Amino acid sequence: MSDEKKYVEQEEIFSQTMRAGRRTYFFDVRETKAGDYYLTVTESKKFTNDDGSFHFKKHKIYLYKEDFAEFTERLGKATDYVLAEKGDEVISERHQKDFVKPSTQNTDAEAPDVIEDASPENFTDVEFDDI
């Protein structure tokens, strides 16, 4: 039997797709050799080459049943935090790879973006017992 025939991608038992701009997310339920189910989450992102051709880069995670509850809880907490801190408004230009954050003038209440004199003698040693 050839190497190609030895490796057979597991068929999806259940599959959902989510398109998000240049990214596509695939949520696929697959079956282990033992007959149990697990989830793969794949991010596929389209890249265009200079000559007009394109290719996809894929990133995949495998999630097993014993981790579903904690994964769902942590994902929920993380998404809730983002929405609570930043709201659900999407600022699309910030998703562009060449986005440059507009510079702002510092006020007395704001910390500077750059520390002008970061030499070691300007730092204070702090012991964690002091905090």
Whether the per-residue pLDDT at 108 is higher than 60: the answer is: no
Pick the range with the lowest mean pLDDT from 30-44, 60-74, 105-119.
105-119
Q: Distance between CA 47 and CA 23 in Å, rounded?
A: 10
pTM over 0.75: no
Report pLDDT for 123.
Answer: 46
Task: Flag whether 36 is in a domain.
Answer: yes
CB 44 within 8 A of CB 27: no
Q: Distance between CA 66 and CA 50 in Å, rounded?
A: 44
Report pLDDT for 57.
Answer: 94
CATH of the domain at 53: 3.10.450.700
Task: Flag whether 88 is in a domain.
Answer: no
Task: Flag whether 112 is in a domain.
Answer: no
Burial 105-120 (b: 16+ CB within 10 A, else e): eeeeeeeeeeeeeeee
- Per-residue pLDDT, averaged over 72-101, amounts to 84
Of 80, 36, 93, 86, the closest CA to residue 62 belongs to 36
Domain membership of residue 21 as a residue range = 10-71
Query: How many domains would you assign to the chain?
Result: 1
Report pLDDT for 61.
Answer: 96
Which residues are CB-contacts of 43 (< 8 A; sequence separation ≥ 6)? 23, 24, 25, 58, 59, 60
Task: Flag whether 80 is in a domain.
Answer: no
Q: What is the pLDDT of residues 37-70, one digit of tens each?
A: 999 999 999 888 899 898 999 999 999 999 999 9
